[in-house]
Amino acid sequence: MDLGALFGSFDNFLSFTIGGLVFGAIYALIALGYTMVYGVLQLINFAHSEVFMYGTFAVAWTFIFLHGTESASWSLGKALPILLVALVAAMVMSAAIALLIERFAYRPLIKKGAPKLIALISAIGASFALAEAMGLRDRFAGWVGLKDDLADYVAPDKARDVFSNPVTIEPHKLFELGGYGVTDVDLVIIAAALLMMVGLDQLIRRTRLGRGIRATAQDPESAALMGVNSTRVVQLTFLIGGLMAGAAATLYMMKIGSTRQNAGFILGVKAFTAAVMGGIGNLRGALLGGLVLGVMENWGAAVFGSEWRDVVAFVLLVLILLVRPSGILGESLGKARA
């Protein structure tokens, strides 16, 4: 295959690859939430997309609180202090939403031994409720007397529209790679995502908490006999998924700069796809699945046109699962070795 002909030139091929890695890194961070919960509970947490979406709003709100609503275009360096605060805010917000989902949409059902299908329906319900609640945020703000302040940036009729971060982050070219200018924003996104993945991987493999999570994933009853508190482990799993989704939300807002109440849906579906593609329940699979999905769909968009991006992504999913039904890496979180 002549790549040069397909992509116009090799330069474009590299640029599409790096662009794909940037999105792949974000997919991978969200995919962790799906894969961790699946590894421990064998449940797909369909409400995880909203965990991410709330994080994106937390980023924009942080900029509004610390900078104001006035539009601005900053370099990454200038935005960095507020970005770091936004990262913490998004992680706290997403973790809180994830824990709420666990507490109210899952734990009562699991305690009563409800079938997995019931928990799935509960999660879909939680997903809609959370997304619609975000659409009604101006009303909630009004109830607590914030209407006047918030009306500036959440007019009632605009609540469902795109909600932008007032500060746009201008990427700066750092160096050339095969004719493609790699920007600081791209590099930070890829590096931050990889760093978090490596950190989490080590946490699961090396620490006592990680051993508790792995034990519960492999045999919940035996884990309880060892003195592992399974409720705590499930909570911890949701918490970690939430923290990672919050980080993903921050990186997404750096790159895209705007969100909306249903922004979680497509990102959630893509991240879930990445998790399944890599082997659901497998942390390294989530990373690999995310990166492969991000790169392949960007290549697909380059070859067939950007309207084909999602078609390529899901055809790829089907093809990979036909060949390897348990995903690229296959093994579960439980079986992951230290």
Residue 335 found at the interface with other proteins (CB under 8 A): yes
Residue 132 found at the interface with other proteins (CB under 8 A): no
Residue 111 found at the interface with other proteins (CB under 8 A): no
Q: Which is nearer to other proteins, 131 or 213 (CB)?
A: 213
Residue 177 found at the interface with other proteins (CB under 8 A): no
Which element (helix H / strand E) includes 260? Answer: none
Helices (H), the chain: 3-6, 10-41, 48-67, 76-100, 107-111, 116-135, 137-143, 147-151, 184-206, 208-218, 220-225, 230-255, 263-278, 283-304, 309-323
Residue 225 found at the interface with other proteins (CB under 8 A): yes
CB of 205 to other proteins, least distance (A): 10
Q: Which is nearer to other proteins, 88 or 224 (CB)?
A: 224
Q: Which is nearer to other proteins, 229 or 306 (CB)?
A: 229
CB 210 within 8 A of CB 204: yes
Residue 283 found at the interface with other proteins (CB under 8 A): no
CA–CA dist 62, 138 (Å, integer):
17
Q: Which parts of 226-255 interact with other proteins (CB under 8 A)? A: 226-230
The three-point CA angle 203-209-212 to 5° equals 120
Residue 202 found at the interface with other proteins (CB under 8 A): no
**Stretch touching other proteins by CB under 8 A, among 225-233, 247-255, 272-280, 319-327:** 225-233
SS3 166: coil
CA–CA dist 139, 136 (Å, integer):
6
Residue 157 found at the interface with other proteins (CB under 8 A): no
The contact set with other proteins (CB under 8 A) reads 208, 211-212, 214-215, 218-219, 221-230, 331-332, 334-338
